[in-house]
Amino acid sequence: MSTILSAKNVNKRYKKFHALKDVNLSVNKGKIVGLIGPNGAGKTTLLKAVLGLDSCDGDLKVMGLDPFKQRADLMKEICFIADVAVLPKWIKVSEVLRFTADAHPNFSIQKAKDFLAKTKVNMDHKVKELSKGMTAQLHLAIVMSIDAKLLVLDEPTLGLDILFRKEFYDNLLNDYFDNERTIIITTHQVEEIEHILTDVVFIREGEIVLDANMEELTSQYFEVMVGADQYQEALAQKPLTERKVFGKNIMLFKSDSRDYLETLGEVQRPSISDLFVALMQEEQA
């Protein structure tokens, strides 16, 4: 099955609050998708629907299953990590592994032990004795030891220092991901994951603002550092945003003609963070 997630006209209301508005989204196998949005944009609501934790209106299928009605079957093929500090403080690492082995049919306790052998996490450690970084390593070892088709990461490195965050994503990419698995990540630290993403989805106030693969972004969106002589001509092309850096005007364009933009100044690909801010501002305008 090439389509892992399919959402057609998905809506979710909490009384008068419209959390998801006609969401249409398709995620194929072997993709790493960044689900990006400000607080309250609908990211968590969408993930809860995908994981079968909440119902929604519309047509939502995950690996061909209704996640709310067929959640027991679906969870055999899904892993999920939220904030790293969710394990009971009193439980030992060895007990966590045994519990996971009993709860998930596709979990390999030996794989988890092999992963943890490369860290400072011991089997006799209690969770309360682990640092945040070590707890993240425990979570990742569990996830990488489950033969699942879909991995959902909701702010998985929240509160970790930059070294642990880099190690987390490096291990995820090198030891877990392959073309048979799919990963959906939400994070506010977009700049740290954009190098591993194949696709990005921007969501704002429950609506999908952008759904594109990284190749499309590279060919459609450009930042141009515009000199004073070209400023008025560049402004006439109606840039999405404009900002000043070291006295230079940097404009963001959506354009099919990189060659023309190069006549206006130095062209480079915008970061996902800059593109996200620009599109959010455009939507507000």
* pLDDT value for 8: 96
Report the pLDDT averaged over residues 4-18.
94
**Residue 84 pLDDT > 60, yes or no?**
no
**Residue 113 pLDDT > 60, yes or no?**
yes
pLDDT tens track for 221-230: 999 999 888 9
Indicate the pLDDT class of residue 1, thresholds 50, 70 and 90.
low
pTM of the full structure? 0.86
pLDDT tens track for 124-144: 999 999 988 888 889 888 988
Residue 250 bridge partners (DSSP): 225, 243
DSSP conformation class of 128:
G
Please state which of the ranges 43-52, 135-144, 160-169 shows the lowest mean pLDDT.
160-169
The domain locations on the chain are 3-205, 216-284
Indicate the pLDDT class of residue 76, thresholds 50, 70 and 90.
confident
**Mean of per-residue pLDDT scores for the chain:** 88
Instruction: Report the CATH architecture of 3-205.
Output: 3-Layer(aba) Sandwich (3.40)
pLDDT tens track for 50-74: 999 999 999 999 999 999 999 999 9
Indicate the pLDDT class of residue 198, thresholds 50, 70 and 90.
very high
For residue 184, count CB atoms less than 10 angstroms from its CB and return exposed for 0-12, middle for 13-18, buried for 19 or more.
Answer: buried
Neighbours of 2 (CB within 10 A): 7
Give the whole-angstrom CA distance, residue 285 versus residue 282.
Answer: 5
